[in-house]
Amino acid sequence: MNTGAKLHIQNLSLAYGKTEVLKGVNLSIEPGEFFAFLGPSGSGKSTLLRAIAGFGPKPSGEITIDGEDISGLSPWQRDVGMVFQNYALWPHLTVRENVRFGLQEKRRLRGAEVDERVDRVLELVGMLSYADRRPSQLSGGQQQRIALARTLVVEPRVLLLDEPLSNLDASLRVQVRTEIRALQQKLGITTIFVTHDQEEANTCSDRMAVLQSGVVQQVGSPMALYDAPQNVFVAGFLGTANVISGEVRSEGQGHVFFANGLSFAVPHAPSGARYAVIRPQDIDLAPLSSSEAPVNTIGQCVGQVERKEFLGGLVRYTVRAADHQMMTVDKLHKTGGTVSQVGDRVVLTMPRQGVTLLAA
């Protein structure tokens, strides 16, 4: 296996007519890294992956693998392997014949060498015992493994995965993504994974690039992007977030963020801060007793529960707070029921830490 290739993308742009799909993309993907392109539909992530593979119109800019410029090469000359969303298996061929196909077309190997390599990669993905079956006799997860084996058997320098789990049901997606990640770590092959599912990107990738409208918004590890988003789009796309528009004012020795009848202390005040980002699990929610006077203070506000959703380990509340600001609050589900019901009056306590302030 040719493992650990470095991929570099510099000032890559692509347009279909007057519609710009990619706008000056710059990325460096390290050898052996599992890297994700994450973004909503139409963000350009699949177009970027296909540009690396050599499919579609030629973009401007540069793509290099281990320093070699592959921008002008045909797809079969780039030494990259791509697993497609729909698997693209030949229905009339057996599993072994499907995997062998790429070697027969691309590699000049003797029959015994081909058979040995095919069996080795089928064993690697746990499908050797299914070698004589046809794709129609396999489950979706098994077909995905065969598509992966067919790509790996040609020993590409970079493995490209275009939303490979989208055709699987929820429980099978978790299983297959775990298998893909374990296999990638075992082989050490540089892998790029395209998805619109943040959970998939968070659990699989070493780093990710978040794209919107053909522009890379931020690059980093899943935890770094979640904890320190650089703009409102990234904050809202990576997990659930309360994004509140307001302004920072100096109050005594500290700073207070004021917005829609809410106010809470913030540890620092970046220049031009206009938005506060608070994760639902960082807000405390408690019932408002009948003897308490409903009053809003710095760090606390009174609200009413509008919606309650049971999410298994969590209960998610949507609370209408001061001046009709809607706030999302997550509480751990515990035996004995949840703290509040729809219609209840509650007190929200804002965190003193964990608030991210962003410019416009």
Concatenate the DSSP letters of all residues of 201-262 into one string.
Answer: HHHH-SEEEEEETTEEEEEE-HHHHHHS-SSHHHHHHSS--EEEE-EEEEETTEEEEEETTE
Decide if pLDDT at 106 tops 60.
Answer: no
Q: Which tens digits make up the pLDDT trace of 11-29?
A: 999 999 889 999 999 999 9
Could you give the CA distance from residue 194 to residue 204 in angstroms, rounded to a whole number?
11
Burial of 153 (C-beta count, 10 Å sphere; 0-12/13-18/19+): buried
95 confidence band (pLDDT: 50, 70, 90): very high
pTM: 0.89
Q: What's residue 306's pLDDT? A: 95
135 confidence band (pLDDT: 50, 70, 90): very high
Q: What's residue 261's pLDDT? A: 82
Neighbours of 303 (CB within 10 A): 26
Decide if pLDDT at 1 tops 70.
Answer: no
Q: What's residue 12's pLDDT? A: 97
Q: What CATH superfamily is the domain 242-359?
A: Nucleic acid-binding proteins (2.40.50.140)
Decide if pLDDT at 337 tops 80.
Answer: no
Decide if pLDDT at 177 tops 70.
Answer: yes
**Window from 104-118, 218-232, 297-311 with minimum mean pLDDT:** 104-118
Residue 49: strand, helix, or coil: helix
What is the amino acid identity at position 232? V
Could you give the CA distance from residue 302 to residue 101 in angstroms, rounded to a whole number?
65
| C-beta of residue 329 within 8 angstroms of C-beta of residue 348 | yes
The CA–CA distances, whole Å, from 36 to 57, 60, 141, 153, 201 equal 22, 22, 21, 22, 6
Could you give the CA distance from residue 261 to residue 232 in angstroms, rounded to a whole number?
21
Could you give the CA distance from residue 259 to residue 277 in angstroms, rounded to a whole number?
12
Under CATH, what is the fold of the domain 7-237? Rossmann fold (3.40.50)
**Window from 95-109, 229-243, 250-264 with minimum mean pLDDT:** 95-109
2 confidence band (pLDDT: 50, 70, 90): low
91 vs 86, residue with greater confidence = 91
Decide if pLDDT at 37 tops 90.
Answer: yes
Q: Which tens digits make up the pLDDT trace of 249-278?
A: 887 778 888 988 888 888 777 778 899 999
Q: What's residue 25's pLDDT? A: 97
pLDDT > 70 in the chain, percent: 94
| C-beta of residue 322 within 8 angstroms of C-beta of residue 260 | yes
Please compute the mean of the pLDDT values over residues 203-219 and round it to a whole number. Answer: 96
Q: Which tens digits make up the pLDDT trace of 292-335?
A: 666 778 889 999 999 999 988 899 999 999 777 899 999 988 75
| pLDDT, mean over the chain | 89
The answer for residues whose C-beta is within 8 angstroms of residue 95's C-beta and 6 or more apart is 122, 127, 130, 131, 132, 133, 134, 135, 138, 146
For 109, the token pair is 């190997």
Residue 172: strand, helix, or coil: helix
Q: What's residue 291's pLDDT? A: 63
Q: Where are the domains positioned within the chain? A: 7-237, 242-359
Decide if pLDDT at 83 tops 70.
Answer: yes
Please compute the mean of the pLDDT values over residues 209-219 and round it to a whole number. Answer: 97
| C-beta of residue 22 within 8 angstroms of C-beta of residue 45 | no
Neighbours of 53 (CB within 10 A): 19
Decide if pLDDT at 105 tops 70.
Answer: no
198 vs 109, residue with greater confidence = 198
Q: Which of 101-110, 203-212, 328-337 has the highest mean pLDDT?
A: 203-212
The CA–CA distances, whole Å, from 154 to 7, 66, 82, 113 equal 19, 18, 11, 12
Q: What's residue 118's pLDDT? A: 92
Could you give the CA distance from residue 46 to residue 32 in angstroms, rounded to a whole number?
21
Could you give the CA distance from residue 294 to residue 345 in angstroms, rounded to a whole number?
9
